[in-house]
Amino acid sequence: MKITEDALKDNLKLNKLTNLYYFYGKEVFLVKTYTDRVREKFAPDSDEFNLVKFAGVPEFDSLEEAIETLPVFADRKLVIISDFDAEKLDADYLEKAITLFSDIPEYCAVIIAITGFEPALRNAKTKKLLACVEQSGTVCEFALLSRPKAADLIMKKASRLGCIISRTNAEHLYDLTLGSLTLIGAEVEKLCAYTETGGEITGQVIDLLTPRLTETSVYELASALTSKNAKTAFRILDDLMAQNVQAVIILASLSGAFVDFYRAKLGKNHRFSPEKIAEDFNYPKNRAWLMKKTLNADIIYIKKCLASLYKADIKLKSTSLNSRTVIEKTMTEILILR
């Protein structure tokens, strides 16, 4: 069966277990979290004898032996296979694996945890494997959390650690980390350690301690350019260059930001909601908020900015001009555009 995260959480609380799981999705943090939760049910950390781990596609004989041998001084055992890619299997291996997974002994459980790639859900081999797991066990996809839901988690985690954070600042932290729960968890712990117990995590503290990811910085750069704030724009460029971010990456991210601005503006002009625009363009949940970032500029202006960025991309890839010079010239062009 295929179930939601909430249903999986309830099943684990009630000890409604299956002996075959397939976990995947863009929120890798949750894939790992629920893999650990299932592991605790079948083979706690202290039980080294009854936990077998594989990475990638193991030799079939080794996989079969791990599943079919009896547990040692315990009632159950667990086999975890990380990044088991069905598309890499030949037809014979796939058929034997499906037969094996379809009849796992009662004393054993298997988790297939996908964290290193996105499974090819439309391809025949992956479809066949998922159909097997849905029939014999549990499939759960962990999508990226929405901005409000992630903000709730940030506020709860801060509270558990003895600190307070407003929803506005929780969403600000979400934006800086691009919604990655792995980064969010580490940042909240760091911010709470810096803030005295019972104190508040302010926006000033977040800006002081939380590093901006390249993409986040580039969005701030794009906003500064369109606001005609040259001082801020060139300061952000200095910061990115100091971090040794390649010019081609800065330019590509900047172009992506203006494409987002274009889509948001186009949608707003046609009276679509930000949520509808994000859905139509297949934005993941942690990026849907970008469709609310409309500019006080018209479509023609944004098109001119994209044209300047396109010319700069060609120069970077086809000439020996200094890359920083190319970016600075392009930024100046955008700053003076009307």
User: Are both 257 and 309 inside the same structural domain?
Assistant: yes
User: Are both 249 and 230 inside the same structural domain?
Assistant: yes
User: Are both 168 and 247 inside the same structural domain?
Assistant: no
Mind listing the pLDDT tens digit for each residue in 125-182?
999 999 999 999 999 999 878 888 889 999 999 999 999 999 999 999 988 887 778 7
In whole angstroms, how far apart are CA 105 and each of 40, 64, 98, 110?
A: 19, 11, 14, 10
CATH number at residue 198: 1.10.8.60
CATH number at residue 7: 3.40.50.300
User: Are both 219 and 322 inside the same structural domain?
Assistant: yes
Q: What percent of the chain has pLDDT over 70?
A: 96
Q: Report pTM.
A: 0.64
User: Are both 128 and 167 inside the same structural domain?
Assistant: no
User: Are both 87 and 169 inside the same structural domain?
Assistant: no
- State yes or no: pLDDT of 45 exceeds 70: no
**Average pLDDT for 17-28:** 92
- State yes or no: pLDDT of 292 exceeds 80: no
User: Are both 318 and 257 inside the same structural domain?
Assistant: yes
Segments forming the whole domain that contains residue 198? 147-209
- State yes or no: pLDDT of 286 exceeds 70: no
User: Are both 262 and 317 inside the same structural domain?
Assistant: yes
User: Are both 13 and 135 inside the same structural domain?
Assistant: yes
User: Are both 166 and 136 inside the same structural domain?
Assistant: no
